[in-house]
Chains A and B, each alone.
Chain A
Amino acid sequence: MQIVDLILYKAYAELRRDIASAYLGMLWWVLEPLMYMAAFYMVFAVGIRSGGENFVSFLLCGLASWKWFASTLNQAAASIVMHRGLIQQVYIPKVILPLIPAVVNFVKFQVILLLLLLFLWAGDTPVSLNWFYLLPVILVELVFILACSLLIAALVPFVMDLRILITNGLTMMMFLSGIFFSVKDFPEDVQVYFYLNPMVSIIESFRAVLLDGVVPDWHALGLVLFCSILAGLVGCWVLRRFDHHYAKVML
């Protein structure tokens, strides 16, 4: 089986389908994140007015990286269940199924990232060469997303209840990831608990690089990377161990 060809072509096909099935097609790649961000902008910058200056940039950095994570995870959780028909017709290594939404959403994230950078550039944030530190930050988030996707996709077919848990758990996690506030504003003994959530460190790194033009916290990112690789390996192991079992439980 040509695994790489299969992942890439399937991802291409899903992107093509999204474009073909809406009148506005590819324009939605730009419009959807804009609407998403505008909704939160209205609540927090116009409505509640909690932030100080630069609050919009602060908010958008968090939302951009969060949306990438949450969209991928929601789709990855459904990835094996969604292809239940296909896995009854042909043998597919199940490992590849959660990787397809990961590729699709990585492509979509590029558009969001570009919009974010354009926004910062147009605003009063100084553009700096240090923005290149974003590359390792993005890499760490990618690995984290892949790990969560593999792990969740592996477990959902056995316990369907997990899907409900994930959808609602993600909403809860969103408000605990420091998108709308800075974790640093909390007392130190509370902060420790926030940092158990890897998205907190990732989002802070985005802000450190883009807003402050400083080097991200390598120590925190390294820890996230290390744990993600472990979790990803467990996910792969489960998917391979039960590779032929999914076709039996997904009837």
Chain B
Amino acid sequence: MTYDADVILSLEHVGVGYPTRKLFSREKFWALDDVSLTLSRGETLGVLGRNGAGKSTLLKLLSGILVPDRGVLYRKEKITISLLALQLGFMPQLSGRENAMMSCILLGLSRSEASQRLDRIFSFAEIEHAMDKPVSTYSAGMRARLGFGVAMEADPDVLLVDEVLGVGDAHFRKKSSAMLKQRMGAGRSVVVVSHELATLRQLCDRVVVLDKGRTTLSGNVSEILAVYQAETENLRA
């Protein structure tokens, strides 16, 4: 199968099943049943779904933690994809510097690449003064900022974002959404997963609706929002 040169990730009728916890049973629970979507370079894709629709499983599939049990997943060569996980592998007893190194290496950087980026990470997070203090002495906001700084500097081709970024205070929130927008401008792709229309409307070019493990709708934001809202209202009526 051939793909548009711009497509960096695509799923066709993909299913992911979890083993049921019964001994000797081959039965599966299909968290993702039939999912199809494509993601192009520089695009911001929104995934809209209620609780239990399969959003987290989809993110794990896209980030390579899980692989499809059926269907086809295409990932362009040498594409790095990672989940925006704040405080990835942090150990509170270690210093901010050591934890940032650890997170960067977990995100696929080498030791020397990681150490070169430390200064930028800490200046972005605005905690240069606390670089060598143990993370256990950081406030929750400082930790989150450090985690966000690491994720930005690790700079994957596709960043996967779960829900709203409630990172730090208003000033830092502004700075981080500006950073996300700037990434999008620089040809990096983003997948945002949310159960809220409002979040996706602000950020995304295109939206896919996920319902009970199936992608039911896909298209540009305004179309989808109109259909989705109508459906939700029908449900209520």
Partner among B65, B67, B109 whose Cβ is within 8 Å of the Cβ of A87: B65
Interface residues on A, range: 20 to 34
A248 touching B106 in the complex, CB below 8 Å, given contacts A9-B111, A17-B93, A86-B88: no
Q: Are A247 and B111 in contact (CB under 8 A)?
A: no
Q: Are B94 and A247 in contact (CB under 8 A)?
A: no
CA distance A87 to B105 in the complex (A): 14
CA distance A86 to B82 in the complex (A): 13
Indicate whether B144 reaches chain A with its CB closer than 8 angstroms: no
A90 touching B106 in the complex, CB below 8 Å, given contacts A5-B111, A21-B93, A247-B66: yes
Partner among A13, A91, A244, A249 whose Cβ is within 8 Å of the Cβ of B102: A13
Would you list which residues of chain B between 104 and 122 have a CB under 8 Å from chain A?
A: 105-111
Indicate whether B19 reaches chain A with its CB closer than 8 angstroms: yes
Task: With a 10 A CB-CB cut-off, give which of A6, A14, A92, A249 has the most chain B CB atoms.
Answer: A6
Q: Are A10 and B65 in contact (CB under 8 A)?
A: no
CB distance from A122 to the nearest CB of B (A): 36
Q: Are A10 and B102 in contact (CB under 8 A)?
A: yes
User: Inside 8 A of B105's CB, which chain A residues have their CB?
Assistant: 2, 5-6, 9-10
Q: Are A244 and B66 in contact (CB under 8 A)?
A: yes
A5 touching B107 in the complex, CB below 8 Å, given contacts A90-B85, A247-B65: no
Indicate whether A88 reaches chain B with its CB closer than 8 angstroms: yes
The closest CB in chain B to the CB of A2 belongs to: B110
CA distance A17 to B85 in the complex (A): 22
Indicate whether B185 reaches chain A with its CB closer than 8 angstroms: no
CB distance from B1 to the nearest CB of A (A): 22
Indicate whether B64 reaches chain A with its CB closer than 8 angstroms: yes
User: Inside 8 A of B91's CB, which chain A residues have their CB?
Assistant: 13-14, 17
CA distance A52 to B16 in the complex (A): 64
User: Inside 8 A of A244's CB, which chain B residues have their CB?
Assistant: 65-67
CA distance A88 to B57 in the complex (A): 10
Q: Are B65 and A90 in contact (CB under 8 A)?
A: yes
Would you list which residues of chain A between 1 and 58 have a CB under 8 Å from chain B?
A: 1-2, 5-6, 9-10, 13-14, 16-17, 20-21
CB distance from A18 to the nearest CB of B (A): 9
Contact with A along B57-73 (1 / 0, CB 8 A): 00010011111000000
CB distance from A202 to the nearest CB of B (A): 33
Would you list which residues of chain A between 80 and 100 have a CB under 8 Å from chain B?
A: 86-92
Indicate whether B52 reaches chain A with its CB closer than 8 angstroms: no
Indicate whether B18 reaches chain A with its CB closer than 8 angstroms: yes
Indicate whether B168 reaches chain A with its CB closer than 8 angstroms: no
CA distance A13 to B109 in the complex (A): 16
CA distance A9 to B104 in the complex (A): 11
Indicate whether B98 reaches chain A with its CB closer than 8 angstroms: yes
Indicate whether B167 reaches chain A with its CB closer than 8 angstroms: no
Would you list which residues of chain B between 65 and 96 have a CB under 8 Å from chain A?
A: 65-67, 82-83, 85, 88-89, 91, 93-94
CA distance A231 to B193 in the complex (A): 43
The closest CB in chain B to the CB of A5 belongs to: B111
Indicate whether B191 reaches chain A with its CB closer than 8 angstroms: no
Partner among A86, A90, A249, A251 whose Cβ is within 8 Å of the Cβ of B63: A90
Q: Please report B residues at the A interface, Cβ cutoff 8 Å.
A: 18-19, 60, 63-67, 82-83, 85, 88-89, 91, 93-94, 98, 101-102, 105-111, 134
Beyond A16-B98, A89-B65, list 9 extra A-B contacts (CB 8 Å).
Answer: A5-B111, A10-B105, A13-B102, A16-B94, A17-B94, A88-B60, A90-B65, A91-B63, A248-B19
Question: Could you jot down 29 A-B contacts, CB within 8 Å?
Answer: A2-B109, A2-B110, A5-B105, A5-B110, A6-B105, A9-B101, A9-B111, A16-B93, A16-B94, A17-B91, A17-B93, A17-B94, A20-B93, A20-B94, A20-B134, A86-B89, A87-B65, A88-B60, A88-B65, A89-B83, A90-B83, A90-B85, A90-B88, A244-B66, A244-B67, A247-B66, A248-B18, A248-B66, A251-B18
